[in-house]
Amino acid sequence: MNLFKKQDDKYGKAEVFTNIAKIYSIKGELDQALNYFKKSLRLWEQIGNKRNFAKNLMNIGNIYTDKGELDVALDYFKRSFEICKQIDEKQTLANSLGSIGINHAIKGELDIALDYFQQSLELCEQINDKQILAKNLGSVGIIHHSKGELNQALDYYQQSLQMNREIGNIDGVVIFLGKIGDRGGIGIRDHIKQQITRQEIIMANFPLD
């Protein structure tokens, strides 16, 4: 970090701040993670790198989601969404739609959540992003499951299971084999928490290089 300061390498410092934030997030030190993500965000804005700025907005939104501050998180996700539309950054756009869906689902706004997940699914199919597609197929299944629409839930779980097998995501296979075997009335919060951990969200949206 001292070398970056001497050289005034804002890009390098922004990447380091982001990686420090992700480590704090994995450790569960969310306020520290938030502090470093916001430092990184300011630098991406100064640099004018809209792609990484949008991704960091997503990461900050994910931290606020984990802190239970869902309305604040939604604001960050929607800011990311708008920037991604401007620069045609479709992968982060698909992630932002999914994250907005997750927050509405946690709030119990299932029909709104379903609409955002469906938008994300359509975009994932356009760009052939199987990782996000597998996650969001499972999320749609979870919504139908929570609404008691078990046949529809089963269909989406099976699609997610197949997609996770194709991309070699063993964790996803295990999760959705469990979902297929358990189509009872588990609540939406438990399902969302079982499917998507803090670390998985952050690493999916802004992975370490």
pLDDT given at position 202: 36
pLDDT given at position 178: 56
Phi-psi region of 182 (alpha: psi -120 to 50; beta: other; left: phi over 0): beta
Tokens of 198: 């803090």
Residue 65 reports pLDDT greater than 90? yes
Task: Name the phi and psi angles at 184, rounded to 5.
Answer: -80, -160
Share of the chain above pLDDT 70, in %: 77
Number of domains in the chain: 1
pLDDT given at position 153: 85
Span 107-145, pLDDT tens digits: 889 999 999 999 999 999 999 998 889 888 988 988 888
CATH number of the domain that 11 lies in? 1.25.40.10
Q: For residue 148, what pLDDT band results from cuts at 50, 70 and 90?
A: confident
pLDDT given at position 209: 34
d(CA 50, CA 99): 19
| Burial zone of 168 (CB within 10 Å; 0-12 exposed, 13-18 middle, 19+ buried) | exposed
Name the residue range of residue 195's domain.
2-205
pLDDT given at position 176: 53
pLDDT given at position 141: 87
Q: For residue 177, what pLDDT band results from cuts at 50, 70 and 90?
A: low
Span 75-87, pLDDT tens digits: 999 999 999 999 9
Span 27-42, pLDDT tens digits: 999 999 999 999 999 9
d(CA 61, CA 166): 29
Residue 187 reports pLDDT greater than 80? no
Which residue has 């996803």 as its token pair? 172
